[in-house]
A and B are shown apart, each in its own frame.
Chain A
């Protein structure tokens, strides 16, 4: 594995400078556009954070979770309740919600991650469903189907990000920070252990990796990302309801992950942008949006299970692939 210190300049340019420049370019483009574009790009940034976490657990570690929306809901409702009803500082609410989601992930992840195959899939799916049901039924806390409105925008102390464009800058900063952390984690000892687990659990075990503990840690990291994305959504839109974090979110985020390329650093960002731009090109098909997402996802799963980024790798190049490819999900 290459450590950042020995990374060649060209790889540095391709892997870091170019994508960051692209993200900033998209942001600048959005800042010079109408409010609607700002909203779409803002959603893309939020989803990209969520999917980066998902990618961490599924792409790098090779595990499956169909219930990450549970942790987005914890973050979203945590932020909405703490900052809306109790007038907490939004940033503090976000951090506290993240910590809460992390603790919950550790507690439920411990027994859940011992399961395998279909049982793991169904158990994680159940986590998302339970959270969804609770957010509907616990009306005293969540207002049920009505949702919570009037959530204040992001801000620190007296400084409040009043406009959507200011918020977008903050979201971009969050996104770049999130991707940076994910990259650094991937190339750390921790990340290498996760990729070993993705490769072969018995082999990783034989190398002295505590498989159960590392899986749980990856699960918690993914939950932290999800919670952060949920909080940002609450502050960006100012309104949340159970549907926001429902089953459609699971399908949408997986579509992003596979479209952008599972296991790649920037795949989640590209995927989120592509999926959220899709309805713009399919105007008139607004009602069919979820159907289109589902069909796209199924087609990718059939024809390009490594995502569109995987297709690019099939194109023959003169240069031998220098960088070791991140482990693919099982």
Chain B
């Protein structure tokens, strides 16, 4: 039977990974709100974030901060490319929902294979941003990277909140999420909003990937697990709310960490996917939405 320290330790780790899931989940919501599209290639941005940052560090020898700051716009460009080459042509032709999903899935496979060909298929990692950890609280070890994740994660949420409430572009995006036709009638360039949402969402994914890589490894195939877990986080949060997605991510991360303690690491993805199916079956509109609904009645 695992002891209390182990439990506490796994809770700490779960919060860290959960915040990352939350960021990915917010990425899902940003695109979904702007367009009604769920981008199944969302996890690819996390993968690219880690891989590009590692390539900049190891191949160009850039300092960490420069590499991290450069990675975000590079991955955002990749997001724009997906929007321009794959999603927009289908969007303009009024393609069926599942056709767009399929196309983003195919894009993910293509990007993964291209990553293998250009950067290789070996898992890699880089050191934590601040060396010298972990911080010891009794027997619980807290890695300094966790504070970076906490700090950058909250910074992202604050920035997003400011963006969505204080800027014209952010307000326009929110208008699109409420009613695209009405937004278009009011003169909001809805299709440019789609572009913006992909760049934003890709940038968020890149931040998540850069932050999480020192805690684990990155490789061409980490996209799907992060994408699926981010999706679960977004669903738990009711799909559409950034705060909900972040809370959902932390909840999922902690649940997963506990599942690892109890069941072993091997089946952690199976556990997460089962959680996904159970949540979908029980609360097709999200747990928080379901709670609010029951309060209302």
Contact = CB atoms under 8 A, between A and B. Distances in A.
A137 B270 contact: yes
Interface residues of A, number: 40
Interface in B84-106: 85-86, 89-90, 93, 95-103, 105-106
Contacts, number: 121
Given A118-B38, A134-B270, A137-B270, A298 B280 contact: no
B4 interface: no
Contacts of B231: 122
A329 B269 CA distance: 31
Contact of A122 (B38, B269, B281): B38
A195 B167 CA distance: 48
B113 interface: yes
B229 to A, nearest CB: 11
Interface residues of B, number: 39
B114 A291 contact: yes
A130 B270 contact: yes
Interface in A261-316: 287-288, 290-291, 293-295, 297-298, 301-302, 305
Contact of A288 (B86, B113, B276): B113
A119 interface: yes
A66 B93 contact: no
A254 B89 contact: no
B267 interface: yes
Contact of B273 (A126, A247, A293, A298): A126
A298 B277 CA distance: 28
Contacts of B96: 305, 329-330
Given A111-B281, A117-B97, A291 B103 contact: no
A201 to B, nearest CB: 15
B107 interface: yes
Contact of B102 (A115, A123, A301): A301
A251 interface: yes
Contact of B109 (A112, A126, A133, A251): A251
A236 interface: no
A130 B277 CA distance: 10
A50 B269 CA distance: 26
A287 B121 CA distance: 13
B270 A329 contact: no
Contacts of A133: 267, 269-270, 273
Contacts of A134: 270
Given A122-B38, A295-B110, A129 B103 contact: no
Contacts of A298: 85-86, 103, 106-107, 110
A125 interface: yes
B142 to A, nearest CB: 29
Contacts of B114: 291
B95 A302 contact: yes
16 contacts: A118-B97, A121-B101, A122-B276, A133-B267, A133-B270, A134-B270, A137-B267, A247-B105, A251-B106, A297-B103, A298-B110, A301-B99, A302-B93, A305-B93, A329-B98, A330-B98
Interface of B: 38, 40, 85-86, 89-90, 93, 95-103, 105-107, 109-110, 113-114, 117, 224, 228, 231, 235, 266-267, 269-270, 273-274, 276-277, 280-281, 284
Interface of A: 64, 66, 111-112, 114-115, 117-119, 121-123, 125-127, 129-130, 133-134, 137, 247-248, 250-251, 254-255, 287-288, 290-291, 293-295, 297-298, 301-302, 305, 329-330
4 closest cross-chain pairs (CB), A and B: A294-B110, A64-B98, A294-B106, A118-B38
